[in-house]
Structure 1
Amino acid sequence: MESNKKYWKGLEELNNSPEFMEMNKSEFAEPLPIEEVLSGAGLSAKTPRRDFLKALGFGVGAVTLAACQKVPVHKSIPYLIKPEEVTPGVANFYTSSYNGQGILVKTREGRPIKIEGNPEDLIGGGSLSAQGQASVLDLYDVTRLQNPVLQKDESSWDAVDGFIKRELATVAASGKKIRIVSSTVHSPSTKAVIAAFTAKFPTTKQINYDAISYTGIIQANQNSFGKAVLPHYHFEKADVIVSFGADFLGTWISPVEYMRQWVSNRNNTSLQNKKMSRHVQFEAGMTMTGTNADTRIQIKPSEEGLAIINLYNAISGTTLPGSKQLSNKAADTAITLVAKELLAAKGRSLVVCGCNDVAMQVLVNAINSLLGSYGTTIDLDNPSYQYAGNDAEFVEFINEMKRGEVGAVFFMDANPAYNYFNAKDFTQALAKVPLKVSFSDRNDETSSLCDIIAAKNHYLETWGDDNIFAGYYTIVQPTINPVYNTRQAEQSLLIWTDNPVKDYYSFVKNNWETNILPQVGLTGQAGWETLLQNGVVKTAGAPVTAYTFNKDLNVIAQNIINRSNQLTASGANAVELLVYETVNMGDGRKANNPWLQELPEPVSKVTWDNFVAIAPKFAEKLGIKEGDVLKVSSGSHTVELPVLLQPGQAQGTISVALGYGRTLSGKVGTGVGKNAFPFFTFKNGTFQTAAPASISTTGDVYILAQTQTHHSYEGRNIIRETSFDKYLKDPSSANGRHEAEHKTYTLWPEYNRPEYNWVMAIDLNACTGCGACIVACNVENNIPVVGKDEVRRRREMHWIRIDRYYSFKEGNENVTEEREIDKLEDLDNVSVIHQPMLCQHCDHAPCETVCPVLATVHSSEGLNHMAYNRCVGTRYCANNCPYKVRRFNWFNYWNDSRFDNYLNNEHTQLVLNPDVTTRFRGVMEKCTMCIQRIQGGKLKAKIDQRALKDGEVKTACQQTCPTNAIIFGNVNDPDSVVSKALKSERTYYVLEELNTQPGVGYQVKVRNVNETLA
């Protein structure tokens, strides 16, 4: 057990800053000021909180009418003719698809209230991302358009259709170009609709425009192998993974899929087979993937290409022109060692790069070819269709508009007025186009510039399909009728072209019955209904072949050197700037979703803002402190953002997150953070995410809403980790079991649990920190959003949190628990562990002994229960909980007018789970292990007159986890998955020395560390 290793949540805790020490003197979170008590006491509630079903009596006719019709299998049937499978109080599930990933949509009385992954889905296997979990809330967003817009005013569809048909006829007669600008379309039926539109108007061209571009990879594959495709990567087949800035566990291409693949070589099964992959990450800013890597090396964006050149040299035994050493000597050493490991794992290795530069991606292709990765870990024959954007095509489209060649433009799920780096150039060019139409659900930055906004449906209101990679298809079917007077974009295109198929449902069905279902042996109505029930189909894939790289690399190397020189910063305040995506905000299209805004970013734990991440040592050199507002300038763009001191950030660099700074997103997202898309540059035919910049202080100070240091364990040892080598020698090397067992005492009689004893196991080796479990818990358990100011006051309500801990790398100047932090460069080389923390459901629960009204009690099945009606809000339980997992309702968050921007409106309350009570002001709440799911599973088993099966009940956090890091079940069943997991030699219990006897066991973190690089 590595008892000398120190872990800390943030620099405040590491350095025991006066502010941190003062904050943790308080018994509770910030006291409720008396003026807030007085002002809140007289508030009238819009909705009775303790009986959600009364919400259906609201003046929300649009939603309730939509909910009262059944749509999934056939076209809409009025709910007045009650379908026999719909029973009040019983949930129905329907298959659909979210961004190409198969999902199950849970509905209650016709209202979608929860989304789960489809177990048959090849991407997630039943799991789902945070954004996927949160997407159900967008259906009830009151800022969605309720009618189409014609010339800035609400209108009817008849008026819009007539106007556009006349304008299209005029454009066709003029011979001018028609452009459909869309984010990547991977729906076969949508492509067919666009093809039909193009046949009607031959000057039409579709332009795929992705705010986050992968053109560099696609073009590199065209240059290298004559295949302009995005590969389908297989991390599960790689024993050695080397990534240069590719956040493949967080945001890069297909993170849910890659997380499942990556963890398959690192979980309990793999370790028991004495096998574990090795993952090395080279990057400038700390990403979620970097925090999970076995070894992480900091390199500047300007040196990323140089590092790839050096890796190619080490693997090939040649020397490309312009090769030189890196400024970070550790990176040079790492390149040499990594090259040997990659060659030793030839055919079972994978090198990926997150940069969008074609030359760098070509060189990565050359490396993977030398390693025999094509045909094994990289599949070019069954490619991914997730991103097909062509950056140069979009830039040329702007030039076409400038020249007056474009007569009409249609925007489908594209918002370049916000996310194109030169928005002014775009808007000025767009003004020259006679007909501008946007298919959008709101009046966003681009839609506001258009003549027509053809208000589109939410995806849960639509028919459709997806083909996310070759041979894999998913179906999209509506689970509710359109809430507002909206229409699918495809339906509009069919109408405007006078297509003989008048409705999109029939178009999709005909397309499947003609082109797809026969490939999998399904025909007719029976085949169609089988598809709707299963949700996914897989056709036979193409044979996977190897590809050999034989191009001249001298010019490629020179292009990389040129790019490096362009990025190199010089001057006292000069820095290298890198912009990046976050797991919660992505490219910003979900900015109006409060669940995602309040989801702590996995690395920084910041909510409701973006910031400037900078290394502590570099900040001290420049005289910058955390919270200082910096002016960041690059090219012609300048923003002012607060500083976050980020351990692991490369010296001389800063990072800024994308997806913020929306000006027209809705009540929630407008004005949150600053827009970093203008920092993009267009170089060598692609959009680049790194640029030289300068920074200067403004004199202002801004406090970020950061959750990480809201709770303290007073230096107790709650994290356990070991290396793979030590694990092979002694599997219990880090869990403390080789030490004396902690003695247990009890003051109460013991009770038997003959049938059920519910417990949980959490594998720290599998948890990546993605936060999907947090959002899933929010949705399932009606957890309110409190907003930025309340988070600053330490009042966030999440029942499960993902704690992020830093530690110094092994052997880093013999860092011990007592060592003073006197060298800031130590903070450049830190390792990170993510630990989910929720109510531990202790057998000797400290909260239960201090509650004066027995509001929190222990059940006969091993769970710690809360009786909300008894709770009088003393908060003694929160003070006595060593895990700090209990949450106090400072306000009536669901119907206090101060929270109208978040979840408090008459439509969003319809997403509430009626099986879970909404808690009221003055009441304590915490994780229940989804007791409503347990009771539902037991009831179903009782009705079926059988025993409850293992795995039949899953908590919301467990069900959505892409890596199966969370396992829940009945420990009384020796064959249950959770029983076997808790018998692992890696199992330990947090703070078990306090004799709380927690019901959640953790498995020790294992890193496959090369001691030379540690």
Structure 2
Amino acid sequence: MDSNKKYWKGLEELNNTPEFVEKNKHEFGEPIPIEDVLSGEGLLGKTPRRDFLKAVGFGVGAVTLAACQKVPVHKSIPYLIKPEEVTPGVANYYSSTYEGHAILVKTREGRPIKVEGNPNDLLAKGGLSAQAQSSVLDLYDVSRVQAPLLNGEGKEWSDLDDYVKLELAKIKDSGKKITIVSSTISSPSTLAVIADFITEYPTAKHVMYDAVSYTGIIQANQNSFGKAVLPHYNFDKADVIVSFGADFLGTWISGEEFTRQYVSNRNNKSLQAKKMSRHIQFETGMSLTGTNADNRYPLKPSEEGVALINLYNAITGTTLPGSKKLADNATNNAITLAAKELVAAKGKALVVAGSNDVATQVLVNAINAALGSYGTTIDLDNNSNQYKGNDADLAEFINEAKSGAVAAVIFLDANPVYDYYNTKEITEALSKVPLKVTFAASLDETAALSTAVAPNHHYLESWGDDSAIAGYHTVLQPTINPVYNTRQAEESLLIWSNNAVKTYYDYVRNNWDKNILALGGLSGQKGWETLLQTGFVKAAAKPAGSYAFSRDLNAVAQTILTQSAALVASGDKAYELHLYQSSAIRDGKHANNPWLQELPDPVSKVTWDNFAAMSLTDLKKLNLQEGDVITIDANGTSIALPVLLQPGQAEGTISVAVGYGRVKGGAVIESGIGKNAFPLHSFRNGTVQTNAVAKISPTGDQIILAQTQTHHSYEGRSVIREASFTEYKKNPYKNSGKDGEHKDYKSLWENYDRPTYNWVMAIDLNACTGCGACVVACNAENNVPVVGRDEVRRRREMHWIRIDRYYSFNEDGKSVTEEHEIDKLKNVNNVSVVHQPMLCQHCDHAPCETVCPVLATVHSSEGLNHMAYNRCVGTRYCANNCPFKVRRFNWFNYWNDSRFENYLAEQHTQLVLNPDVTTRFRGVMEKCSMCIQRIQAGKLQAKIEKRPVKDGDIKVACQQTCSANAIVFGNGNDPDSEVSKALRSERTYYVLEELNVQPGIGYQVKVRNTTESEA
């Protein structure tokens, strides 16, 4: 590896501060005073855990009844088998859909316990996001509305229906307006139901809006090409990708799909063919996508439009009026280089921007048209349906409501009282609407102001469909009877509009019979049953057309430059504000999910909070420390947040995540998590904008963030290896250590044969984006407990797999002088990042096994390191002796200890638990088991079928959910297995190989497509 490169997890580790050294002395966190333990308070407050869990958790009785009730008349069809009845101990898998992705839902004894990607899903090929993995948890949430409400009082459905129908009839006779406000709906059947409702009530109108809007792209395509659509992007067809603030591997449009596409040009197969795409990222805050870029350049929001104009000029050879260079020469040079590379890759180039500004996106369209991207990397004919909201439509509804023209509003999967930028305005508008109905599943901020609440089913209780991409239709089927007295929103609309079709199941079935089944060559009952087993149909794709751009860009450029000038921060303590979605919580709909709240942010590694990210230069300038609270004033709103040092943050800017600070919608939310940043948005030129000028001021307060980035330190030992693509092509073994002299390590252990199976794993650092979906998948599969903010602060998170994030820059070897400190500041502001999944390495010469006095951790004949929980007495010798720091000590009975609170409810977790995995008790060590339960199930199935285990029969949870296929597991004894082939890669190395513990997990060297001068 490059000896000049310095890798570090946080600035405290880089500087080896006394505080960092002291914290690392306490591997298992700070001790709790014995009197607090005995009193049951600890650091987690005075609420007894059992009581708190009942408040936050879910009702066992209702779910037990739902799981045990008779199967409904219209049966769901399992994916693989058709049982006559539930067989205890045997899982059933049902096809369904989540946000347009085809999925499989695993049920045990009638309870959904795990969601997996359907391996035939056209979008992610079996990959699944952290949000989808965690969605099963929401099914059992007692925060859900459990029965209809009218003016805050529980009612029967018949009473609610009578009231709503009477009011709607009055409004129909009066001629006043009815508005259905929803987030994007891509379900053909739901859209048909709404159309029928509007037919019954001609003054009704459907308004779609998205909390995080893509109106700018849609309107730009309307202005540029006459097609008001969100394109379908093909990153797999792009040799050169340039992104301006679009987090396309994370939260931008279709992250799992784009990840699969992106990695296909950068993984083992591509590299062995000596091919690799090139990715350049310009952005304000460090995003997940930015951490994966070959080259990344910090850029202020006010500079983005100027940079795009310069890119257009360099590509086309023209000069738009008002063009000017940026202040930073390195960025100017990067734009010139990017233009040359894009032109050289004409037809295989792609430029994307995360801006929601129409003029900016029109310019991006012009750039892509000049590069010949339409019809190849951009498809306007097989468009995306994932975001269709229109910001102007919602603004129009608010104005109409304020004027008194709207007599009824119905909210479907929409919470504008929380996520609209002007809370005061939306609240005032709703106060003038007599009838307010919501289908909210929980009493969220909008539901709290509604006249009637008609609680919707959870998607795992529902019938339906989806079409995320034009021509690709997935089906939704229930996997459990309704847990509470809820009803599907579409069925409510059918009843209220006096539709001849009384049940939504019949409606969906009729719609598919008439319009969709034939697209997959299916028909009739047999076709319907086939659909319920396969999960989707796909129509033949339309030819993707090329589109020429003919608009005059002079006015567009002037609009962009005017907006850029308005974003320049001037004056004391004025900064450019950048708002973004966190990778876990997204727009706030998932804020009540503790699995997601405890998932470390892939970049900052913060859990349970949002924060104000700033550069080291700005922190020093303002004399601030991490955790100091500042107020941020923008758009007439002020919020207070702790600051966080973010390497790579553009100087003079602040980045804040939206989706936090909700006040209603569940016990986790209402415990107080972060601040609401949506009001910091502004409405300009017809769209909601994510950038603004903000004034900041310190409050004098401080908050300790629950941040995991420097937990489990290697004490400076090297674990990351990377090379440039140029180096790799010259020497494929570069930095893997395989081209050096063989080292004959001495061993204290004997070697044992693995006669049948040798379970091993390969992890490709070039494929891993650091998204964290594997962490949540492991939580769900292996009953890993959530511990809460305070316990994370004490370094006691329980995740069996973690994603270590390393910053790096080239060390110059200078002595520590004032000049060197200035250089270090520049280096910290311009870093590269590597993500490394780290879990138990299942070492053949495991140091943990040697020191265990009770043989609680032992090695199997199949190469796995096992834990016998009932033997473990909690000495923690094994964790002290583990060089990888992957063992977790279970301080408390997080699942059912009545003395301590927990954000994951006891009753709730008893229902979502995987019965094949033991729940660990207090005082034992736990760590990755390589999903031993899945290994045993795979072996048993092969035995029943009287055959050997085939490669791919067994997939561990982290592997199965990874859209990038970064994790490969299998039998190392099979030379033709995928894992054996991966481990034979010239890039394979083993972490801390010099210790000769012989890990069972091999990593592939990270390769960046940079020249040696750029690396």
> Is 2:789 aligned against 1:791?
no
Quick one: percent identity of the two aligned structures? 69
Partners of 1:72 and 1:477 within 8 A in 2: no
Contact 2:28-2:796 at 8 Å conserved across structures: no
Amino acid at match of 2:727: K
Cross-structure match for 2:217 = 217
Q: Secondary structure at the match of 1:351?
A: strand
Q: What are the Cα deviations for residues 875-897 of structure 1, in whole angstroms up to 9, with x where unaligned? A: 11111111000001111100124
Aligned to 1:751: 752
Kept in 2: contact 1:668–1:901 (CA 8 A) = no
Counterpart CA distance in 2 for 1:168 and 1:761 is 60
> What per-residue deviation string (whole Å, max 9, x for no partner) do you get for residues 175-213 of structure 1?
000100000010000001001100000011100010000
Deviation at 1:429, TM superposition (A): 0.7
Paired residues for 1:346-495 under 5 Å: 346-495=346-495
Whole-angstrom distance in 2 between the partners of 1:471 and 1:170: 40
CA shift digits 1:12-44 (9 cap, x unpaired): 100111110111123532223212432359999
CA spacing shift, 1:915–1:563, aligned 2, 3 Å: same
When the two chains are superposed, the root-mean-square deviation of aligned CA atoms in Å is 1.9
Residue matched to 2:597: 597
Paired with 1:689 and 1:575, the residues of 2 have a C-alpha distance of 14
Q: Map Cα deviations across residues 89-114 of structure 1 (whole Å, 9 max, x no partner).
A: 01000000001110000000000000
Q: Does 1:607 align with 2:607?
A: yes
Could you give the per-residue CA deviations for residues 127-174 of structure 1, whole angstroms, max 9, x where no partner exists? Answer: 100000000000011111110111111111011000001100111111
| 1:246-261 to 2 correspondences below 5 Å | 246-261=246-261
The 3-state SS of whatever aligns with 1:213 is coil
For residues 72 and 232 of structure 1, do their structure 2 counterparts lie closer, same or farther at Cα, with a shift above 3 Å needed?
Answer: farther
**1:949-1000 CA distances to partner (integer Å, 9 max, x unpaired)?**
0011000000000100000000000000000000001000000111111000
CA distance in 2, matches of 1:458, 1:729: 54
Give the whole-Å Cα distance in 1 for the aligned partners of 2:354 and 2:318.
24
Determine the structure 1 residue equivalent to 2:121.
Answer: 121
- The equivalent residue for 1:193 is 193
Question: Are 1:897 and 1:904, in contact at CA under 8 Å, matched by a contact in 2?
Answer: no
C-alpha distance in structure 2 between counterparts of 1:158 and 1:447, whole Å = 20
| Corresponding residue number in structure 1 for 2:910 | 909
Matched, 1:16 2:16: yes
Query: What SS class does the counterpart of residue 631 from structure 1 fall into?
Result: strand
Partner of residue 617, structure 2: 617
Partner of 1:672 in structure 2? 673
Partner secondary structure for residue 5 of structure 2: coil
Q: 1:241 to 1:73 in 2, by over 3 A?
A: farther
In structure 2, C-alpha distance between the alignment counterparts of 1:454 and 1:739, rounded to whole Å: 68
CA distance in 2, matches of 1:854, 1:897: 30
Question: Aligned-pair distance for 1:621?
Answer: 1.1
Name the counterpart of 1:517. 517
Question: How many pairs are equivalent?
Answer: 999
Q: In the aligned structure 1, how far is the partner of 2:59 from the partner of 2:484?
A: 14
Spell out, residue by residue over 1:775-832, the C-alpha distance to the aligned partner (whole angstroms, 9 max, x if none).
0000000000000000000000000000000001x5x757899996553121111000
Asked if residue 971 in structure 1 is aligned to residue 954 in structure 2, the reply is no
Cross-structure match for 1:923:
924
Structure 1 counterpart of 2:303, one-letter code: E
Determine if contact 1:131/1:596 at 8 Å carries over to the other structure: yes
Report if the CA contact (8 A) 2:722-2:735 is conserved: yes
Q: Which residue of 1 is the match for residue 828 of structure 2?
A: 827
Task: Tell me the SS of whatever aligns to 1:786.
Answer: coil
Distance in 2 between residues matched to 1:100 and 1:635, nearest whole Å: 35
**TM-aligned CA deviation for residue 665 of structure 1:** 2.1
* Structure 1 residues not aligned, in runs of 5+: 50-57
Residue 131 of structure 1 pairs with residue 131 of structure 2 = yes
CA distance in 1, matches of 2:201, 2:233: 38
> Are 1:990 and 2:991 counterparts?
yes
What is the one-letter code of the residue matched to 2:949? L
Q: 2:50 & 2:88 partners in 1: Cα distance?
A: 24
TM-score, length of structure 2 as denominator length: 0.96
Give 2:141's aligned amino acid. D
Deviations 1:354-411 (A, max 9, x none): 0000000000000000000000000001100000000011101000001100011000
Are residues 18 and 137 of structure 1, via their aligned partners in 2, closer, same or farther at CA, if it must alter by over 3 Å?
A: same
1:635 Cα deviation from its structure 2 partner: 2.3
Q: Is the 8 A contact 1:784 1:894 kept in 2?
A: yes
| Contact 1:230–1:387 (8 Å) recurs in 2 | yes
Which amino acid is 2:984 matched to? K
Deviations 1:835-870 (A, max 9, x none): 000000001111111111000000010000000000
**Residue identity in the other structure for 2:455:** A
Whether contact under 8 Å (2:461, 2:477) holds in the other structure is: yes
Shift of 1:330: 1.0
User: Cα–Cα, structure 1 residues 616 and 395, in superposed 2: closer, same or farther, change >3 Å?
Assistant: same
Q: Secondary structure of 1:6's match?
A: strand
1:281 matches 2:290:
no
Counterpart-to-counterpart distance in 2, 1:324 and 1:76: 61
- Secondary structure of the 1:710 match is coil
In structure 2, the partner of 1:764 is 765
Distance 1:659 1:635 in 2: 18
CA contact (8 A) 2:28 2:795 kept: no
Residues 533-579 of structure 1: per-residue CA shift (max 9 Å, x gap)? 00011001211110000100000000000110111100120000001
- 1:716-865 matches, within 5 Å, as 716-808=717-809, 810=810, 813=812, 821-823=821-823, 824-865=825-866
SS at match of 1:161: helix
- 8 A Cα contact 1:71 1:478, kept in partner: no
Instruction: Report the AA paired with residue 853 of structure 1.
Output: V
Give the letter for the 1:356 counterpart. Answer: N
Q: Given residue 860 of structure 2, which amino acid in structure 1 is its aligned partner?
A: S
SS of 2:770's equivalent in the other structure is: coil
Q: Give CA deviations for 1:642-683 in whole Å, capped at 9, x if unaligned.
A: 010000000000000011000002111222000000011100
Residue in 2 aligned with 1:105?
105
Deviation at 1:901, TM superposition (A): 5.0
Question: How has the CA–CA distance of structure 1 residues 278 and 9 changed in structure 2, closer, same or farther, with 3 Å as cutoff?
Answer: same
Q: Is the 8 A contact 1:72 1:94 kept in 2?
A: no
Question: Residues 724 and 468 from structure 1, CA distance in 2 versus in 1: closer, same or farther, beyond 3 angstroms?
Answer: same
**Letter matched to residue 63 of structure 1:** V
Contact 1:421–1:678 at 8 Å: present in 2 too? yes
Aligned counterpart, 2:535: 535
Q: Distance in 2 between matches of 1:719 and 1:669?
A: 38
- SS for the counterpart of 1:441 is coil
Distance across 2 between alignment mates of 1:841 and 1:18 = 33
Which moved further from structure 2: 516-525 or 794-803?
516-525
Aligned partners of 1:728 and 1:579: how far apart in 2?
39
The 1:935/1:324 distance shift into structure 2, 3 A limit, reads same
Note if contact 1:786-1:899 (Cα within 8 Å) is conserved in structure 2. no
Give yes or no for contact 1:629–1:699 (8 Å, CA) kept in 2.
yes
SS at match of 1:907: helix
CA distance in 2, matches of 1:340, 1:251: 29
Contact map agreement 1:70 1:479 (CA 8 A) in 2:
no
Q: State how 1:58-97 maps to structure 2 within 5 Å.
A: 60-69=60-69, 71=71, 74-75=74-75, 84=84, 86-97=86-97
| Partner Cα separation in structure 2 for residue 387 and residue 76 of structure 1 | 29
CA contact (8 A) 1:70 1:110 kept: no
**Which consecutive residues of structure 2, in runs of 5 or more, have no partner in the other structure?**
none
Q: Deviations over 1:687-708 (max 9, x none)?
A: 0000000111111111100011
- Secondary structure (helix, strand or coil) at the match of 2:668 reads coil
The residue aligned with 1:54 is none
